[in-house]
Amino acid sequence: MDGLMMDFPLTLPTLLRRVETYFGEKEVVTRLPDRSFHRYTYSEMARRAKQLALALRELGLERGDRVATLCWNHYQHLEAYFGIPCGGFVLHTLNLRLHPNDIGYIAAHAGDRALIVDASLAPLVQQFLDQTEIEHVFVVEDSYEELLASADPAGWIAPDLEENEAAAMCYTSGTTGMPKGVVYSHRSTILHTLGVAAATPMGVGVSEQDTILPVVPMFHANAWGYPYVAAMLGANQVFPGPHLDPESLLEDFVQQGVTWTAGVPTIWLGILQLLDAQPGRWDLSRMKGMLVGGSAAPRAMIAGFKERHNLVVCHGWGMTETSPVASFPALPGELSNADDETKFDYMAMQGLPLALVELRARDDSGNEIPRDGETMGELEVRGPWVASAYYETPDSSDRWTDDGWFKTGDIVSFDPKGHIQIKDRSKDVIKSGGEWISSVELENALMAHPAVAEAAVIAIPDDKWQERPLAAVLLKDGASASAEELRDFLAPQFAKWWLPDRIEFVTEIPKTAVGKFRKTALREQFAPRPAVPTP
Ligand code: AMP
């Protein structure tokens, strides 16, 4: 017997209708490049998002066409978050931290037809545009305004979208090989929004009464879904624009009455340092919770915020492939009166899966690991907002198990209640300040230098960036090259922050039985502690 409920599609136009119908007066505040604040309401946001959708249609773009953004976090980006998918197009957020060649590759691979770009980033576009099929470029606060003005929002009729149509895509560099495209559907986006909104990490959650500031970029993993979560709940939202230094963020928190925020550990380590240096300067009594993820949040940082500033850090885990939020920390109810040290232990773990997400971990022999807090295995995940394939990358099926779970490349243990703790990473990539660096690409580039016989790149721990690359280099017999020379050789090929801070010349690079670099041995030699910190 079938249920007799409506087959109502889960699509973003429903969210847009909700926010303008019920929360039209609530505010979206943006810190502009000149540091002043721009404010408008969700009503205006919705009107402009519809204009964007209509104008893209009038340009001749068709259902399913990709429209890229290359933008910081701001109100125009929010308009793109709604306008592009609500118009039936696919929002493709490009990562502005990448080297122009990589951005070009990604935009070409995705088949982007149009691009919305910040004025400050427009020069970057000239470096990759000719690699792509992009026909239209709109500059924020310039030709983007003309585009919007060309459309009359009175003509808006939401297209009849199906829930499994693509809404957005985002490429990840957190894999070996070329960046890979994750394609979110309307359905997965709506369910992720509900899942994040329903969660109460460490007993705190968000509602219409909150003011949410996502520091995490809208160009990397959807700002953890907060632009949609805030709109669905009717919470005010604040965007920091390009001003991500601790002083500006603290000013935003205080001046805009921020109650909930989210970002990678590098951001919070900087903020903690400033709060410690000038205690009492900022009144953060309204802040209910600060979500930290993307890399492991150090336990000492979590404890420092609570003990010295009475601020609660919530430590989440997720991936571009999981929309991205998959787990939040949770304190078992019976421990609600436990001492702070016990609470910090739980806050430093990556917690429990959100409702509808399932996790398991298996050892090298394929057996599920016991929940003993010690045995380690590779974390696998499945759920309605987890990717089932990469966009047009047929040879990547080994990232999924035969029974349909996604293999994360994260090595974890489970405590007896199933709370995950990330211990290590099996994928050969480095995460610095929340963004990926490919060890393999650096190695290949180094080995193209005439003096280099072999090069292996590993992550070493860093107090500010969590991880930085270190290159172990074996020179050819009789050849010579300095670290500076090798860095200069790499410089034109990579973004500046990819260049290894340390280049160590070695007499041998240890290898496995099958001749691969044995990076664990190099890590033991050069890293005083693991780069992926165990809390
Ligand atoms: P991305 O796709 O760029 O969001 O990166 C996802 C990866 O970042 C995960 O597979 C982990 O390796 C890492 N990561 C994310 N959150 C955490 C966390 N809370 N602790 C440790 N590693 C994390």
Residue 425 predicted with pLDDT over 60: yes
d(CA 436, CA 432): 6
Alpha-carbon gap, residue 508 to 454, rounded angstroms: 9
Cβ burial of 244 (10 Å; 0-12, 13-18, 19+) is middle
Q: How far is the CA of 19 from the centre of ligand 1 (A)?
A: 31
Query: Ligand 1 atom closest to Cα of 434?
Result: 3
Q: Residue 41: enclosing H or E segment and its boundaries?
A: strand 37-41
Task: Return the residue whose CA atom lies nearest to atom 21 of ligand 1.
Answer: 296
Residue 533 pLDDT grade (very low, low, confident, very high; cuts 50, 70, 90): very low
Ligand 1 atom index nearest CA of 425 = 12
Distance of CA 497 to the CA centre of its chain: 17
Q: Which ligand 1 atom minimizes the distance to the CA of 221? A: 4
pLDDT at 240: 98
Spatial distance between the Cα atoms of 328 and 213, rounded to a whole number of angstroms: 18
Kindly report, residue by residue over 348-397, the tens digit of the pLDDT. Answer: 999 999 999 999 999 989 999 999 999 999 999 999 999 999 999 988 88
Are residues 26 and 41 in contact, defined by beta-carbon separation less than 8 angstroms?
Answer: yes
Any idea which fold 12-347 has?
A: Rossmann fold (3.40.50)
Taking the CA of residue 315 as reference, the ligand 1 atom at the shortest distance is 19
pLDDT digits (tens, 9 = 90+) for 128-143: 999 999 999 999 999 9
d(CA 343, CA 284): 21
Which one is catalytic: 260, 317, 436, 465? 436
On the question of pLDDT at 452 being above 70, the answer is yes
H or E stretch at 421: strand 420-425
Nearest-atom index, ligand 1, CA of 293 = 19
Answer yes or no: 133 catalytic: no
Name which residue sits closest to atom 9 of ligand 1, judged by CA.
319
Above pLDDT 70, what percent of the chain? 99
Residue ranges lining ligand 1, Cβ < 6 Å: 172, 174, 221, 293-296, 315, 317-320, 324, 350, 408-410, 422, 425, 431
Burial class (CB within 10 angstroms; exposed 0-12, middle 13-18, buried 19+) of 378: buried
- Cα 174 to ligand 1 centroid, rounded to whole Å: 9
Average pLDDT over every residue of 443-464: 93
Q: How much of the chain exceeds pLDDT 90, in percent? A: 90
Q: Is 180 a catalytic residue?
A: no
Instruction: Output the residue whose Cα is nearest ligand 1's atom 20.
Output: 296
Query: Which tens digit of pLDDT belongs to each residue from 148-186?
Result: 999 999 989 999 999 999 999 999 999 888 999 999 999
Confidence at residue 527, expressed as pLDDT on a 0 to 100 scale: 82
306 carries an active-site annotation: no
Q: How high is the mean pLDDT of the chain?
A: 95
- How many CA atoms, within 13 angstroms, populate the side-chain half-sphere of residue 297? 33
What span, in angstroms and rounded, lies between the C-alpha atoms of 58 and 73? 26
Task: Encode pLDDT of 454-472 as tens digits.
Answer: 999 999 999 999 999 999 9
Residue bearing the CA closest to ligand 1, atom 15 = 294
Distance 319 CA to ligand 1 centre (A): 6
Q: What is the DSSP letter of 19?
A: H
| Residue 424 per-residue DSSP state | E
Residue 420: strand pairing partners: 351, 414
Of 381, 386, 331, nearest to 360 by C-alpha is 381
Residue 113, Cβ density class (10 Å: 0-12 exposed, 13-18 middle, ≥19 buried): buried
CA-proximal residue: ligand 1, atom 5 (nearest)? 319
Instruction: Locate 3 and state its tokens.
Output: 């249920």
pTM over 0.75: yes
State the SS3 of 108-162.
Answer: HHHCCCEEEECHHHHHHHHCCHHHCCCCEEEECCCHHHHHHHCCCHHHCCCCCCC
Q: Provide the pLDDT for residue 532.
A: 54
Q: Is the pLDDT of residue 63 over 80?
A: yes
CATH architecture assigned to 430-526: 2-Layer Sandwich (3.30)
pLDDT at position 45, please? 98
Tell me, in angstroms, the distance from the centre of ligand 1 to residue 409's CA: 10
Question: Is 321 in the active site?
Answer: yes
Calpha distance 433→245 (Å, rounded): 13
pLDDT over threshold 80, residue 514 = no
Structure tokens at 505: 């010349």
Which residue has 């990448």 as its token pair? 98
Closest-lying ligand 1 atom to the alpha carbon of residue 409: 10
Q: Quick check: 535 pLDDT over 50?
A: no
Catalytically annotated residue among 20, 79, 163, 321: 321
Query: Which of 319, 349, 386, 437 to mutate for ligand 1's pocket (most ligand atoms within 8 Å of CB)?
Result: 319
> Per residue in 243-295, pLDDT tens?
999 999 999 999 999 999 999 999 999 999 999 999 999 999 999 999 999 99
Using DSSP's 3-state secondary structure scheme, residue 499 falls into coil
Q: pLDDT value at position 512?
A: 82
Q: What are phi and psi of 286, to 5 degrees?
A: -80, -15
**Sequence spans of domains, the chain:** 12-347, 430-526
> What is the number of the ligand 1 atom nearest to the C-alpha of 173?
3
What is the best residue among 290, 291, 292, 295 to mutate for testing ligand 1's pocket, by most ligand atoms within 8 Å of CB?
A: 295
Phi/psi for 55 (5° steps) reads -65, -35
- Using the mean position of ligand 1's atoms as its centre, give its distance from the Cα of residue 95 in Å: 16
Catalytic residue among 11, 172, 261, 408: 172
Atom 6 of ligand 1 has which residue's CA nearest to it? 319
**Exactly one of 26, 180, 343, 431 is catalytic; which is it?**
431
